C-alpha cells in the first residue's frame, strides 16, 4: 500500500517533468520506449514514476511481463496531467512572442463519413496557421482506451439492442459516459451491380449467401464490440478489413455487402455504391463517449454540432 509523502511545508514535490514522463509512457506503451524518446535512462525514468506514485499515495501503472497498463486511478491522473501540461503550454506560448501557439485536438471514432466531414470543419474553424489535429478511426475497445487515457477528448460509436448492456458497463468501467446523438436505421451497402442493388429493402435471409465485409476488431474483443450489427450472425463468406479503402475496393470487386448507416463516403459514391434499408429489429444509437463529469470543450462541441448537421444533411432530415 502506498502512502503519500510531502515536504516540510506539507506540499507535494511533484514536478512537470514527472507528468511528462507519465504521459510519454502512455503514448509509447512502455517505459523503455518512453525513456528512449525522452533521452533519459530507463532506471531514472522508472524511479521518477515510482517517486510520483509514492508522493500521490496511489498506483498509476501496473507492471506486467507484456508491458504496462494504467490503473483506474492512473487513467484519471493522466487526464489531469494532460490538462496541466496543456495549460503550461498555453502559458509558455502566451509569453513567447516569437513562437506561435500550435492548436492541437484529437477525436477517436468508428468509421463514419459524417465524422470525417465534421472534423474537417473543426480544422477550418480552429486550425489557424499552425495546428496538429488527429482523427483516429479505431476499434471500439481502442476508442474507449484512447478517450479514457485522455489522448482524445471524444469517441464516436454506437449502441444497439444487442450490445447496449455490455457496452454501457464497459464505458462506465473506463470512467466514461455515453451521450446519445441520434438513431440511425440499419442499411446494407453494396456496389451498384450487386443483385441486391435493385431491392427497396432486404432481409437477413436475402444477404446470407453474399460475402460479408466487416472491420477487424481486437482478437480479445467479444462480438459486443464489433462495429457492425449482427456481428455474431454466422456468415458463410466473411472478409475482415482494417480501413475504408480496402472495404471500398472489395465492395466493387465482389458481390459483397457491409452493414452500416445510410451515409456513404465520397469514395463509395464514386464507385456507385448504394445503401438499402435492412429489415430487422435492431437499431444504431450513434453517440459519443467522454470523461465522466467533464464538460465538452468548444472544439468538441463544434465537432458534435457539425457531425449532427452533416448526418442530417446527407439523410435529408431536418
For the chain, list the domains and their CATH numbers.
1-96 (1.10.10.10), 186-282 (3.40.190.10)
73-79 own/partner pairs: CB under 8 Å, 24+ apart: 75/148, 75/149, 75/150, 75/174, 75/175, 76/175, 77/22, 78/22, 78/23, 78/26, 78/149, 78/150, 79/148, 79/149, 79/150, 79/291, 79/294
Residue-wise pLDDT for 249-275, tens only, equals 888 888 899 988 876 655 556 667 888
User: Residue 129: which pLDDT band, with cuts at 50, 70 and 90?
Assistant: confident
pLDDT of residue 291: 93
pLDDT of residue 317: 46
pLDDT of residue 39: 87
Q: Does 53 have pLDDT greater than 60?
A: yes
Q: Does 109 have pLDDT greater than 80?
A: yes
pLDDT of residue 9: 44
Provide the 10 A C-beta neighbour count for residue 288. Answer: 26
Amino acid at each position: 500500500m502506498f502512502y503519500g509523502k510531502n515536504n516540510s511545508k506539507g506540499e507535494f514535490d511533484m514536478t512537470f517533468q514527472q507528468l511528462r514522463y507519465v504521459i510519454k509512457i502512455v503514448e509509447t506503451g512502455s517505459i523503455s520506449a518512453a525513456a528512449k524518446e525522452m533521452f533519459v535512462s530507463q532506471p531514472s525514468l522508472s524511479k521518477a514514476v515510482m517517486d510520483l506514485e509514492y508522493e500521490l499515495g496511489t498506483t498509476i501503472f501496473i507492471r506486467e511481463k507484456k508491458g504496462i497498463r494504467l490503473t483506474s486511478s492512473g487513467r484519471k491522473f493522466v487526464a489531469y496531467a494532460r490538462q496541466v501540461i496543456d495549460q503550461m503550454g498555453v502559458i509558455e506560448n502566451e509569453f513567447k512572442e516569437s513562437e506561435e501557439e500550435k492548436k492541437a485536438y484529437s477525436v477517436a471514432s468508428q468509421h463514419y463519413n459524417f465524422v470525417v466531414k465534421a472534423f474537417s470543419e473543426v480544422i477550418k474553424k480552429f486550425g489557424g496557421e499552425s495546428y496538429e489535429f488527429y482523427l483516429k478511426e479505431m476499434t471500439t475497445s481502442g476508442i474507449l482506451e484512447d478517450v479514457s487515457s485522455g489522448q482524445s477528448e471524444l469517441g464516436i460509436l454506437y449502441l444497439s439492442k444487442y450490445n447496449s448492456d455490455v457496452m454501457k458497463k464497459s464505458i462506465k468501467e473506463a470512467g466514461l459516459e455515453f451521450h446519445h446523438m441520434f438513431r440511425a436505421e440499419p442499411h446494407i451497402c453494396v456496389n451498384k451491380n450487386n443483385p441486391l442493388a435493385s431491392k427497396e429493402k432486404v432481409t437477413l435471409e436475402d444477404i446470407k449467401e453474399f460475402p460479408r465485409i466487416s472491420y477487424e476488431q481486437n482478437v480479445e474483443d467479444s462480438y459486443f464490440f464489433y462495429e457492425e450489427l449482427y456481428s455474431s450472425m454466422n456468415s458463410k463468406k466473411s472478409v475482415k478489413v482494417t480501413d475504408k479503402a480496402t472495404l471500398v475496393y472489395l465492395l466493387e470487386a465482389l458481390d459483397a455487402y457491409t452493414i452500416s448507416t445510410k451515409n456513404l463516403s465520397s469514395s463509395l459514391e464514386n464507385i456507385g455504391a448504394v445503401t438499402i434499408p435492412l429489415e430487422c429489429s435492431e437499431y444504431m444509437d450513434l453517440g459519443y463517449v467522454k470523461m465522466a463529469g467533464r464538460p465538452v470543450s468548444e472544439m468538441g462541441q463544434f465537432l458534435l454540432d457539425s457531425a449532427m448537421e452533416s448526418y442530417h444533411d446527407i439523410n435529408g432530415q431536418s
